[in-house]
Every structure is written in C-alpha cells, then in structure tokens.
Copies of this chain bind each other. A is one copy, B any other.
Amino acid sequence: MTNSDTESPAEALKAFFRNHASGVAIITGRSGDDSPIGFTATSLTSLGTNPPLVSFNVAQGASFYPHLVEGAFVNLHALAVENLELAIALAGPREERFQSANWHRDSNQVPVFHGATAVLHCKILKVVEVESNAVVIVQALDGFAGDGSTPLLYHQRAFIAGGKILKSNAK
C-alpha cells in the first residue's frame, strides 16, 4: 500500500470510495406527470429482512429527488455485465434514459427494465434528509431474480466485472 495522505476530509472520502467497490443498480420511478424517471445508483444496501427494507442515498439536488416521497413506488434493478450499456444510459442525459425499447411499466406504472439480474418492487417508507443529501428507505413488496450472472461493479471510476470466487458460504 502506498500511504498517500490526503489533503482534506472531502478528498479523503473521495479517495476512500475510489478504493471501495460497489454493485451497480438502477432505480426507477415516475414523476408527477407520469413520465418515467430513473438513475444509476451505487448506494443500494439491505436494511434488514423483517420488515424487508432497503436504503439508498441521493443528493437533494438530483432531478429525481422531488419524486422520492413517502408512499411512492420505485423499482430496484440489480445489474450484470450484460447491462453495461443500460448503466451508462441511466447515468447519461435525462431525455435519453428511456429511449431503449427494453422496458415496460408495471401495474404501478413504474418502469421495469428487461434483462436486469433481479428486480425488487418497493414503496418509499421514509426519506431522511442529512445536510444536502438524503437516505431513502424503501420497503420491499415483491420481485424476481435470475440465476447469478456476473455482477456489474464500479471501482476506481470504472465499470468492472465481478471476478473469481475466493471463498463461498453458499450451501
């Protein structure tokens, strides 16, 4: 390890998270005028199974933020390496995010992208504002999952593939 002492707390945080890999996901919802909305996220994390909750973090300045209100429905998508283009598109210009034909609306009118490794239909339980950001807590309603494709990850400012298994706890 090269110990490069960082200059400020913000720089230290950025350096830390460049080294901390994350799974890549897509979160979709709908706006007040029923337009599909969505973005690529690397902050999805489980918050227990009883009740089944998930948290993710967003900036309050994000275009998506005003639509993240208690009771709104959102769909979470876990991505595999095959979904790289989708991950890039949903991090790109807003008007181009839903140009692909590979999605439909579910019974709550929330977009579901086809080909994601797993989809979790959720309802927003709580939005906890923290400084200029927020922790959004959603409750899982139902979902479906595939059979274990190679996951898509973000690390050192790059999309990377999951690699070899080092130690399995699976029965």
Write the residues of chain A forming the contact surface with B, with a CB cutoff of 8 angstroms: 1-6, 9-10, 12-23, 25, 42-57, 59, 76, 78, 80-81, 84, 88, 115-121, 125-126, 128, 130-133, 135, 137, 139-153, 155-170
Contacts and interface: CB of A to CB of B under 8 A. Distances in A.
Given A4-B145, A22-B45, A55-B57, A10 B50 contact: yes
Given A133-B53, A135-B128, A15 B143 contact: yes
26 contacts: A9-B139, A10-B52, A12-B142, A13-B140, A15-B118, A15-B145, A16-B120, A16-B140, A17-B46, A18-B145, A19-B146, A22-B45, A50-B131, A51-B131, A55-B55, A55-B130, A84-B166, A88-B167, A128-B135, A130-B137, A150-B163, A152-B166, A158-B167, A160-B163, A160-B164, A162-B163
